[in-house]
Amino acid sequence: MSAVVVVGSVNVDFFVKVTRLPSPGETVLGGEHWRAQGGKGANQAVAARRVGADVALVGAIGSDDLGSSALAALNSEAIDTRWLKTIEGHTTGVALIMVDAAGENLIAVASGANARLDPVDVEDAIDALRPSVVLANLEVPDASVIAAARSAARAGATFVLNPAPYRPLSAELLSLVGVLTPNEHEAAGLLGRDGGPWDDLYELLSERGSKQLVVTLGDRGALMLSAHGGTRLPAQPVRAIDTTGAGDAFNGVLAASLAEGMGTEESVRQAVAAGTLATLQRGARAGMPTRSELLDFLKKVPVG
């Protein structure tokens, strides 16, 4: 049994460090550049695995050198990659990322093989593994996300959906979501207006069947909303180096904590801490904490 199955993208990230992010049509000369492993699905799988969950990743890579390097990196993290398909004749997904002096970023993604993830492969993996938690994101086709949600329901698993990058969600998909984890931009898209209050979004989603809403607030932590009310879980202030992957760290650790049997509030608290730690090193995965690093950090974070 795999406690967490992640359904999502596998990319290779290409970074450029800039003093400030450019406006449309503007060129900003950058300094250092580097390459790192990425993709929301792969990042979230790594985050969950590093804090101790048994993790399988369902996704697709291309038949190229980037795909080989991505697979090797995931295997080095002891993630179950048996369900990661190589799509012959296609390229592995690529993300182009600019990071400014404050650690904020702009990202553009070429999906490559991610766009060819087969829903049947998703169903086969979850039906075979019968995990406790299924975590999915929107860097793969809608049909594959729906397949993940339906299969999670059959397995009796909690379905966690990170609706990133934002696009409209079907009524069926929302009805199958156990925990929805948008950031503020994605939450505004779901609500159909520029901003909160997010209580309105929870009421709208709960009418459509969603059970729990967790809005991530960047360096302000997260807001958890359910039928029992709302709870704000603040983040510990740190000097961020690179926010790339912070949301993936949050989602991966949230899924791992839920699979371990923690309550939602404690799971979110751990996820907020993981997202914070992920900003302390550059690249999407470098700062994702191990279990011991996360627990040591949590000891220093005030509760309540």
Whether 122 is covered by a domain: the verdict is: yes
Provide the pLDDT for residue 189: 93
Range of the domain at 196: 4-10+39-89+115-299
Whether 105 is covered by a domain: the verdict is: no
Provide the pLDDT for residue 101: 86
> What secondary structure letter does DSSP report for 179?
E
Domain count, the chain: 1
Q: Catalytic annotation on 127? A: no
pLDDT along the chain (304 residues), means of 10: 90 92 89 90 98 98 97 98 97 93 87 97 97 97 98 97 94 95 94 85 88 94 91 93 92 98 96 96 90 94 65
Answer for the pair 217, 223: CB distance below 8 angstroms, yes or no.
yes
Whether 293 is covered by a domain: the verdict is: yes
Whether 250 is covered by a domain: the verdict is: yes
Give the distance, in angstroms, between the CA of residue 136 and the centroid of all CA atoms in the same chain.
8
Provide the pLDDT for residue 62: 98
Single pTM value for the model: 0.92
- Distance of alpha carbon 190 from alpha carbon 171, whole angstroms: 12
Whether 97 is covered by a domain: the verdict is: no
- H helices of 134-183, in order, are 142-155, 171-176
DSSP string, 48-93: HHHTT--EEEEEEEESSHHHHHHHHHHHHTT-B-TTEEEETT-PPE
Alpha-carbon separation of residue 109 from 94, 187, 267 (angstroms): 6, 21, 29
Whether 29 is covered by a domain: the verdict is: no
Whether 33 is covered by a domain: the verdict is: no
The active-site residue, picked from 64, 142, 248, 296, is 248
Whether 188 is covered by a domain: the verdict is: yes
| CATH number of the CATH domain containing 49 | 3.40.1190.20
Provide the pLDDT for residue 304: 55
